[in-house]
Amino acid sequence: MTSLPWLIPIAPPRVATRRTQREGARRVLNVAIAALGLVLTLPLMIVIAVLIKLTSRGPILFTQTRVGLDRRALTGAGGNTRRHVDAGGELFTMYKFRTMCVAEEQASQVWARPDDPRVTSIGRVLRKFRLDELPQLWNVLIGDMNVVGPRPEQPSIFNYLRQQIEGYPRRQRVRPGITGWAQINLAYDRSVDDVRQKVAHDLEYIRNQSAFEDLKIMLRTVPVMLGRRGGW
């Protein structure tokens, strides 16, 4: 029988059900860990907020639009044909503790680097231990992110990187995360080549994702933070 090119392939009901169940289990784990994390780190976050306010002018939190889950990847609709006219995924507001001077943080979209003059004294400590990411636990609770997943990027940088790196939009098949397989193995990005390595790790994670893998990555994140590996 001749195939009809306009028909969209649909996963068998049992396969779709198993996939939905796996996604549900992962989501429950991520929400539970995020809720627990918010409760346990609340005193620390209050101290961080006070220190940021006392040592530099500007807001405590830094908010920025990031590219999130591409829900078309869950259904097969749209494929790659529409990505040149949209953001590549749902846009959401991501929260972080502010680590840079306000004017510098708003004016520049370049990658941070070691001894970056834009970073405040408190911000340098937060970035070394990756504590600036703690407010994203709220993003997890409201459904924008998971604890584990590829890091979300700004729309302008996302558009640039998907032209430079093959397969980059495939990262949006899952919710972005606070930590991930790439984050516990590699340092902060300084170039497109660094991002290319992280994309390879992200796609490996997507192929092997499970609630158990998420839990392992969460546990391995703790020594990365305490050891200040890859942060600046």
Q: CA 200, CA 58: separation in Å to the nearest integer?
A: 37
Q: What is the pLDDT of residue 81?
A: 43
Give the separation between CA 202 and CA 200, rounded to whole angstroms: 5
For residue 74, give the nearest of 179, 172, 197, 219 by alpha carbon.
Answer: 172
Give every CB contact of residue 227 below 8 A, 6+ residues apart in sequence. Answer: none
Residues 171-219 pLDDT 10s: 999 999 999 999 999 887 778 999 999 999 999 999 998 888 999 999 9
Lookup result for tokens 């409760």: 39
pLDDT at 86 over 90: no
Asked if 170 and 203 touch (Cβ cutoff 8 Å), the reply is: yes
Look up the pTM and report it.
Answer: 0.81
> Helices 155-164 and 192-208 sit at what angle, rounded to 10 degrees?
90
Q: Return the minimum-mean-pLDDT range out of 29-33, 74-78, 156-160, 161-165.
A: 74-78
Q: What distances in angstroms separate CA 74 from CA 10, 30, 31, 51, 79, one per listed residue?
A: 10, 19, 20, 42, 10
Q: Domain residue spans in the chain? A: 28-40+60-97+134-226
Task: Give whole-number Cα distances, 6 to 3, 33, 78, 160, 206, in Å.
Answer: 9, 42, 11, 30, 27
Give per-residue pLDDT as tens, 1-55: 444 444 445 556 665 577 677 778 888 888 999 999 999 999 999 999 999 999 9
